[in-house]
Structure 1
């Protein structure tokens, strides 16, 4: 009887270890903010391979949300740095006349 328990526990340990090894080898999932940062920086550097790779990390909807959130944060940070309104900074970045 103890032999059966020992074999069961040994089998359980080895299957758990092999499962952990398999998980460690799997590609880590990226979150939408990592994808957005990689996507935008690749676009800024005109690196189409990196753009395509980052676009595959999350759904198009998630990527769109992440890029939008990144744009908002960037405009706010730049506006604080310049001591201007976010609207003025956004229009300036896009080359639009000040309204």
Structure 2
């Protein structure tokens, strides 16, 4: 929230500043792009599947752990539903099959 306020106020100040002598000078700042939790979850899961530790850690820092957990859970639900439709099976059957559990 504060990041959005800072960016909004920054529009009025301008992106350039002067250095005492009047020469414009761009402010160097590391501005992190805002990532939504689903983007973070997709990157996190893909990185785990590909065993890419660097991307895994990067995606973990984009959102809070709680938001990442929710996003991963939502991704899992959507994936199971999509796979169940593709296989013409119930989501329960597909989920158990993916985890290697016996059919109940």
Aligned to 2:16: 18
Alignment of 1:1-99 (within 5 A): 15-18=13-16, 26-99=31-104
Give the secondary structure class of the aligned counterpart of 1:98: coil
The CA distance in 2 between the partners of 1:60 and 1:14, in whole Å, is 34
**2-side partners of 1:81 and 1:33: how far apart?**
22
Q: CA separation in 2, counterparts of 1:15 and 1:98? A: 63
Q: State how many pairs are aligned.
A: 85
After TM superposition, where is structure 1 displaced by more than 2 Å over at least 4 residues in a row?
Answer: 13-19
Query: Please, which runs of 5 or more residues in structure 1 have no aligned partner?
Result: 1-12
TM-score normalised by length of structure 2: 0.73
CA distance in 2 between counterparts of 1:27 and 1:40 reads 21
Gap change, CA 1:71 and 1:15, over 3 Å in 2: same
Higher strand residue share: 2
What is the Cα deviation at residue 49 of structure 1? 1.1
Moved more, 44-53 or 67-76: 44-53
